[in-house]
Copies of this chain bind each other. A is one copy, B any other.
Amino acid sequence: MAKVKKAPRPKAETPKGFRDYFGAEVTERTEMLSKIAAVYHRYGFDALESSAVETVEALGKFLPDVDRPNAGVFGWQDGEEEGKGDWLALRYDLTAPLARVYAQHRNDLPTPYRRYAMGPVWRNEKPGPGRFRQFYQCDADTAGAPSVAADAEICAMLSDCLEVVGIPRGDYLIRVNNRKVLNGVLEAMGVADETQQADVLRTIDKFDKVGEAGVRQLLGKGRLDASGAYIDGVGLEEAQAEPVIAFLTSQGADAAETLANLRAAVGGSEIGAEGVDELETISSLLLAQGYGPDRIVIDPSVVRGLGYYTGPVFEAELTFEILDEKGRKRQFGSVAGGGRYDGLVKRFTGQEVPATGVSIGVDRLLAALHAKGRLGGKAEGPVVVTVMDRDRMADYQAIVSDLRQAGIRAEVYLGNPKNFGNQLKYADKRGSPVAVIEGAEEKANGVVQVKDLVLGAQIAENATLEEWKDRPSQYEVPRSELVAKIREIIASHDTSGQAPLGQGAD
């Protein structure tokens, strides 16, 4: 008979730039988000889960660094008839949806509206190593609060969040700046042309690399860079550079000194003075709540990329060092950022709605906790009840049922039970602390064998023959004492940092 031609098999692959998360990768994130949500909640923020799908129109175009035609989102046209429905897209952050939600429901929501949101967002970007097209964000925002007390509150809350998930004080710093100060500097320089303003901002961003002399050259006629190429300057007068230089070197020994320096840098600019006043208010409000410069500092070097910020901007930086992929020490860097954006809701309503908020980079923060050894311990596998006799599955199910009712994670081996070695290999792969064995003989005698897999592995790796005799890893116990014995073994693992068999804590 001729073989029927089959359709080709589908490829079992995630789309490019997407990935799956397994076991502890999921539960560690869930636990971290739950701790952060508790802090947000304590500060009076309410949960919001907006639709993952928005109209393209509502989302707007606020993505940084977009150089692709479909503007960085995954979008499609709705409806049955081609060319007739709304264009829809997956949200690319949680801020644009908040603006839409607040505009849509503002008559029912309290004002100010404090909300938190956590969930995946999607970016239609070129995937790269460690760069995914779906990732988590975890935001808190206040809409409808004009006072910078709202910004100060968010900085304090961010500090609490970092500590509650396991970043100790001293290992992070929240740095606060103000867009208005930057605008004041531009005003003090007498730079009103928008192109020139953008050029000046770009130059400010290069201060780290080129230093004061380099900035002066770039603001003036230009300079020869390290590669020998000549970089055209902005073309300002020499004197015009002074406010920028004053601004870039304004960081003082304490907040008062920094603020005085900034005040000098903005000169007579009204908007600049307002910005410095706001920073002063934020600083004093935070001090009143006990958040000193060991946690939150004024730092003129903070420039957030997004175009929509209109006032205070902030960034949480982890200050400890890690080794990068080439084994070089470097600071861990930023894990959260935010600021005030008074124009986003106005897009919908025509009325100014002041708003401010923060977004925590969930994956970066998880990576930091791994780097600090706060996460990534061995996950607790289930007790595995092995199957010695497939006709007595009911007995084995009764055993796991007893264990589960005692709150112990447990399962029966459900693969082919013929090869007992495979069952122990399975238990090993699952990270099981204990295997339970009940053969015909045990059943007849009313006992079970309990195998301590953690101790067994330690013995196999390290023990001398004496120790092996001394420290058996398998016990025969009456069936009625099974739960108690397993509790005892699991408890002994929890204190295994106390070096059984002479091993140090790992």
Among A54-62, A215-223, A261-269, A484-492, the stretch in contact with B? A54-62
Contact B52 A120 (CB under 8 A): yes
> Can you show 15 pairs from A to B with CB atoms below 8 A apart?
A10-B58, A10-B60, A14-B104, A15-B51, A18-B53, A19-B51, A21-B47, A21-B50, A22-B48, A147-B414, A149-B397, A149-B414, A156-B401, A285-B394, A288-B395
Contact A409 B152 (CB under 8 A): no
Q: Does A458 contact B (CB under 8 A)?
A: no
Given known contacts A49-B21, A52-B134, A415-B112, is B288 in contact with A12 (CB within 8 Å)? no
Given known contacts A20-B50, A49-B26, is B68 in contact with A80 (CB within 8 Å)? yes
Given known contacts A13-B58, A14-B104, A51-B20, is B411 in contact with A285 (CB within 8 Å)? no
- Taking CB atoms, residues of chain B closer than 8 Å to A350 are 9
Near B by CB (< 8 A), chain A positions 391-445 give: 393-395, 397-398, 400-401, 404, 407-412, 414-416, 426, 429-430
Near B by CB (< 8 A), chain A positions 308-360 give: 347-350
Q: Which one of B24, B30, B103 contacts A12 once the chains associate, using CB atoms below 8 Å?
A: B103
A residues near B (Cβ < 8 Å) are 9-16, 18-27, 30, 34, 37, 41-44, 46-55, 57-58, 60, 68-69, 74-76, 78, 80, 86, 88, 100-101, 103-105, 110-112, 114, 120, 122, 133-134, 142, 144-147, 149-150, 152-153, 156, 160, 281, 284-285, 287-290, 347-350, 382, 390, 393-395, 397-398, 400-401, 404, 407-412, 414-416, 426, 429-430
- Taking CB atoms, residues of chain B closer than 8 Å to A156 are 401
Known: A53-B122, A75-B76. 19 other contacts (CB 8 A): A11-B57, A12-B100, A12-B103, A12-B349, A14-B54, A18-B53, A21-B48, A23-B47, A24-B47, A30-B34, A42-B408, A43-B382, A43-B409, A44-B430, A53-B134, A144-B415, A153-B411, A287-B394, A289-B401
